[in-house]
Amino acid sequence: MIKIKIISLVGAIIIPVVAGCASNPLALATVGPQPGRPAAPGLQGSVQVFSATQTSNPIGDIGSASYFHPHSGYQIKAASGQPVRFVFNHASDMDEWPDLVNLPPGHYQIEAQSACCGLVSVPVVIENGRTTVVHLDRNWSAPSHTPANQVVFLPNGESVGWSGSVADSGQ
């Protein structure tokens, strides 16, 4: 009887802790447009998120080697935390290129799946005529001569994008 109470108590403590860890996205530093790139004319900016990919076989043929890796969908939120829109991030199960989403200039939150760290929350800066790119799929690194303070990294050292503090400072 005592063992059952102890197991129940331990379970009651562990389950909320694990669930809390799973539901809270990993927070990263702000990502902005690439520094030094001129802005294109326009009243809006854009964001492109290379989120973790999913394996898809839309043909459904077991013997087929037609596998595709579309990027997973993600949520865009206003700086206040209010949802702005959900982005499916691919046009079909065969589309392996992430969507380019136009947004008014400002600060937003991206909640997306990373290939290594699960759900992450990435603050982004959107500027007129510029594209902010977020890399969560392990397929990008900044040029080797780039100072570390100009790049945002995941905890495992993978590059995510250009630092939004560089974009905010006008460099």
Please give the average per-residue pLDDT across 136-161, as a whole number.
Answer: 91
Query: What is the average pLDDT value for the chain, to the nearest integer?
Result: 82
User: Which of 5-19, 36-50, 126-140 bottoms out in mean pLDDT, i.e. has the lowest?
Assistant: 5-19
78-102 tens-digit pLDDT: 999 999 999 999 877 776 799 999 9
Q: Which residue has the higher pLDDT, 15 or 145?
A: 145
Looking at residue 166, what is its pLDDT?
A: 58
Please give the average per-residue pLDDT across 132-143, as a whole number.
Answer: 92
Percent of the chain clearing pLDDT 70 (strictly above): 77
**Phi/psi of residue 132, each to 5°?**
-95, 125
Q: Can you state the percent helix, strand and coil of the chain, rounding each to 5?
A: 20, 35, 45
Pairing of strands 26-27, 31-32: unpaired
Looking at residue 10, what is its pLDDT?
A: 44
Query: Rounded distance, CA 115 to CA 139, Å?
Result: 10
Which stretch of DSSP H or E encloses residue 31? strand 31-32
Residue 21 has pLDDT above 50, yes or no: no
For the chain, what are the domain ranges? 25-169
24-73 tens-digit pLDDT: 899 999 999 999 888 888 889 999 999 998 877 656 556 666 778 888 99
